[in-house]
Amino acid sequence: MSLELVCPAGTPAALRAAVDAGADTVYCGFRDCTNARNYPGLNFDPDEMAEGVAYAHRFGRKVLAAVNTFPRAGDAKPWHDAIDNAARAGADAVILADIGVLDYAATKHPELRRHLSVQASASNELSIAFYRDRFDIRRVVLPRVLSVEQVAALVRRIGIETEVFAFGSVGPMSEGRCFLSSYITGLSPTSEGACAPASHVSYKEDGPETLSRLGDVTLNRFSHGEPAAYPTPCKGRYVTHGRTSYLFEEPIALNAIDILAELQAAGVTALKIEGRQRSRAYVTEVVGSFRKAIDALDRGQAAATNTLASVAEGQRQTHGAYKKGWR
């Protein structure tokens, strides 16, 4: 069975670009705190979501609405409204993380397919089974902490579809439970969907180097010509025990395009491309490359040469946990 290609869209233009480049499925969010990429200039209002769904359906593709942040105490209405708007727009599924939001969707819109977001951090059989049995989730997006062998073992036991990340940013693996940015900006990635918002980012020349800052905190310094990652706390360089290093995670991109056959053999249903905050050109290039690779795999041919280094974070790539053998 062919791997489903699930691709990001931060804007209506990016959605059309993803469909045109060969995405089987596009995921996007509303222009508010209910999705984990809540940045100025991105996302969809309810009418744009409906128009995007109509465009995708015209070509036989699907749209998933990400409602994957966590409501603030006593203020669940924006999340309930997002579920209602996704159903009204004709979305093929909603991607959810919070138990209360899952319960609302299952109760109010039982016909609306539910996927479990990576933000829920469900990475073992028992936790996935809870969401499957209680909320009838049809697909789980697995956290980026599992080897290919561990993914295969889960697929055999959980009895629902699995979606895994194939390209995009690599974080500290907390998958939606990260609050580092909120200590600097006051905005929570978990509730407001804003990790290191651009309004708090600045760059400063310091002799032969450039400093990248989030709020009043300097997170990194780069020599001229050195690739500079976006300043997020998890990818800053810190001095510990007299040594400067990337303490949490290095600026590097996950790229599984060379191991698609292994993921397919593991029983994976879908491949997720990360990057709703990236440009339409990025979407076109990455989606097009993966479309060619999947089509070649389906024909039993060798995949095309990996040409995505130029759009990879830090211009570096890794197989991540798929090949690290973490336990």
Per-residue pLDDT of 275-309, as tens digits, reads 998 999 999 999 999 999 999 999 998 776 678 88
| Distance between CA atoms of residues 150 and 180, nearest Å | 28
Average pLDDT for 156-166: 97
Average pLDDT for 229-249: 88
How high does pLDDT run on average in the chain?
A: 92
Residue 327: per-residue pLDDT = 44
| Distance between CA atoms of residues 130 and 8, nearest Å | 27
Q: Percentage of the chain surpassing pLDDT 90?
A: 69
82 is written with which tokens? 């997002």
- Which residues have C-beta within 8 Å of that of residue 94, sequence separation ≥ 6? 64, 65, 66, 67, 83, 86, 87, 105, 112, 113, 114, 115
| Distance between CA atoms of residues 71 and 79, nearest Å | 7
Instruction: Give the closest residue to 144 by CA, choosing from 38, 250, 255, 67.
Output: 255
pTM of full prediction above 0.85:
yes
Residue 309: per-residue pLDDT = 82
Average pLDDT for 2-13: 97
Domain map (residue ranges) of the chain: 4-170+252-324, 180-246
Average pLDDT for 60-70: 97
Taking only the tens place, the pLDDT of each residue in 315-327 is 788 898 898 754 4
Taking only the tens place, the pLDDT of each residue in 20-48 is 999 999 999 999 999 999 988 999 999 99
Helix axes 148-158, 125-135, angle to 10 degrees: 40
CA 306, 66, 313 angle in degrees (round to 5)?
30
Average pLDDT for 157-174: 87
From residue 91, alpha-carbon distances to 50, 174, 218 in Å are: 8, 28, 41
Average pLDDT for 202-218: 91
Residue 175: per-residue pLDDT = 62
Residue 288: per-residue pLDDT = 95
In this structure, the number of other CB atoms found within 10 A of the CB of residue 61 comes to 20
Average pLDDT for 236-254: 88
Taking only the tens place, the pLDDT of each residue in 130-152 is 999 999 999 999 999 899 999 99
138 is written with which tokens? 């049809």
Whether the Cβ atoms of residue 151 and residue 266 lie closer than 8 Å to each other: yes
Side-chain-side CA neighbours of 299 within 13 Å: the count stands at 10
* Residue 163, strand partner residues: 141, 270
29 is written with which tokens? 């969010």
Whether the Cβ atoms of residue 320 and residue 146 lie closer than 8 Å to each other: no
Q: φ, ψ for residue 220 (rounded to 5)?
A: -165, 160
DSSP assignment of 262-327 equals HHHHTT--EEEE--TTS-HHHHHHHHHHHHHHHHHHHTTPPPPPP--GGGSGGG-EE-THHHH---
Residue 174: per-residue pLDDT = 59
**One CATH from 3.20.20.70, 2.40.40.20, 3.10.110.10, 3.40.50.720 for 4-170+252-324:** 3.20.20.70
Side-chain-side CA neighbours of 27 within 13 Å: the count stands at 27
DSSP SS3 for 125:
helix
1: pLDDT confidence band, cut at 50, 70 and 90? confident
Residue with more model confidence, 172 or 48? 48
Give 4's DSSP letter.
E
Taking only the tens place, the pLDDT of each residue in 104-135 is 999 999 999 999 999 999 999 999 999 999 99
Residue 292: per-residue pLDDT = 95
Cα 175 to chain centroid distance, Å, stands at: 9
From residue 209, alpha-carbon distances to 85, 163, 178, 202 in Å are: 47, 41, 29, 14
Whether the predicted pLDDT of 173 surpasses 70:
no
